């Protein structure tokens, strides 16, 4: 999870926001936790309109 945290910090530093999606279980063979870190390519105004201000 350290790598996920580091990559998330890099994405957030560049885009001011990051999303982490995971999947595991029946979706993975062999079984393991799989993470995607991404930026949704939405501008700040749309993000704040959808989620508001949370002091972050």
Q: 19 - beta bridge partners?
A: 38
| pTM (whole model) above 0.75 | no
pLDDT in tens, 6-55: 999 999 998 888 889 887 777 667 777 778 898 877 777 877 787 776 65
Position 34 scores a pLDDT of 79
Total number of residues shown for the chain = 56
Maximum pairwise Cα distance, the chain: 41
Is the pLDDT confidence value at 56 over 70? Answer: no
Position 26 scores a pLDDT of 72
Distances (CA, A) of 31 to 11, 12, 23, 35: 27, 29, 10, 13
Position 48 scores a pLDDT of 76
């Amino acid at each position: 999870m350290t790598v996920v945290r580091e990559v998330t910090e890099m994405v957030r530093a560049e885009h001011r926001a990051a999303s982490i999606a995971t999947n595991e279980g029946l979706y993975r063979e062999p079984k393991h936790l799989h993470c995607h870190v991404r930026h949704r390519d939405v501008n700040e105004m749309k993000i704040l309109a959808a989620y508001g201000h949370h002091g972050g």
